[in-house]
Structure 1
Amino acid sequence: MGFSEVLPGTKKSIGLFAALLAVAAAGASFASGPGSAAKPAADPLFDTVLALDTAAFEAFNTCDQPGQLLKHAGYFAPDVEFYHDTGGVTWSRQEMLANTGKYVCGHFRRELVPGTLQVYPIKDFGAIEQGTHRFCQFDSGKCEGIADFLIVWNNNNGKWQITRVLSYGHRENK
């Protein structure tokens, strides 16, 4: 079973996310990160979000090891919404982690595609992280799946948590 089958769900309005995607797709002038250009030498928000992404997905990639799924859980708000184009929607951290434990742990890992990460600030809230990731099977070592993603991070007095995730455009990695 692949990542595309991980997140069954129900229907709920996603107007906010359509707006976020429109802003991200438009290449807003406040974007930071490499995109098609090199990352600026000093970009603290980009560096923070990259470090958060790295830590969250190190735990995801090793979630079959003791304590790692719980560590991964700590990066998500309890009421996280996860939108997956082929798997559906989950409405809570508990539901999302149950699916991760069942379908991901021990089966595949997620890798950020180099040069695709962009970070956009959200005034008085946090940041939007946008990029492309691929999925590599543990049994074969092949990285056959790829998709785009958008993650909304909330910074609440220095505690960063993921509040929304969109993983979309799943396709074969050629």
Structure 2
Amino acid sequence: MNSKLLYLPLLFALSLPAAHAAENAPGSLHDTVAALDHDMFDSFNHCSDPAQLARHASYFDPAVEFYHDTGGVTWTREAMLANTRKNACGNYTRQLLPGTLQVFPIKDFGAIARGQHRFCDLKGEHCDGVADFVIIWRLREGQWQATRVLSYAHRANTEPTN
């Protein structure tokens, strides 16, 4: 199979207008993915605690592909966690920018989450960086896991932080 064809669904999802996002009704797919995003990054934000880093790991498929425009690509959960441990834990936290999370269903698989997040320096207590993200979530046997993650368009934060 042509490897370029494998990425067509992702490219299509990146071009979907917000109107096609899952509804925000209680119990909706949007609520499920928003809760996953919150919980996954709550553990990320406390990952200097080994138990929280292990909790964070549980949100990712062992074969997760993580694409970071400035950090490169990792092909496994272990490699991704090694980068997280080295570069993020104890240094900064991630915050979802309010109103940016969009969720799109993937038939018989899971969902695509797209949004923007900012990164806040724990030492200086300011949020200097903003980036876009896409997370492909898979629902298998009642458990959601991220299988692909894209974090890109990293740039300076020009919005005031609270």
| TM score, norm. by length of structure 2 | 0.90
Counterpart among 92, 110, 119 of residue 103 in structure 2:
119
Q: Give unpaired runs (5+ residues) of structure 2.
A: none
- The answer for the alignment partner of 1:55 in structure 2 is 39
| Amino acid paired to 2:57 | A
Give the aligned CA root-mean-square deviation in angstroms. 1.7
Matched, 1:32 2:30: no
Q: What is the alpha-carbon distance in structure 2 between the residues aligned to residue 43 and residue 132 of structure 1?
A: 23
| Amino acid paired to 2:54 | L
What percent identity do the matched residue pairs reach?
56
Q: Give unpaired runs (5+ residues) of structure 1.
A: 1-12, 34-38
- Cα distance per residue 1:111-148 (max 9 Å; x no partner): 00000000000000000000000000000011000000
Matched, 1:103 2:93: no
Which structure is higher in strand share? 2
| Amino acid paired to 1:77 | D
Q: What is the alpha-carbon distance in structure 1 between the residues aligned to residue 5 and residue 69 of structure 2?
A: 15
Q: Does the residue aligned with 1:89 lie in a helix, a strand or coil?
A: strand
Q: Please report how far the alpha carbon of residue 73 of structure 1 lies from its aligned counterpart in structure 2 after TM superposition.
A: 0.2
Q: What is the alpha-carbon distance in structure 1 between the residues aligned to residue 67 and residue 90 of structure 2?
A: 22
| TM score, norm. by length of structure 1 | 0.84
Q: Does the residue aligned with 1:116 lie in a helix, a strand or coil?
A: coil
Moved more, 123-132 or 16-25: 16-25
Q: What is the alpha-carbon distance in structure 1 between the residues aligned to residue 28 and residue 66 of structure 2?
A: 26
Q: Does the residue aligned with 1:106 lie in a helix, a strand or coil?
A: coil
- The answer for the alignment partner of 1:141 in structure 2 is 125
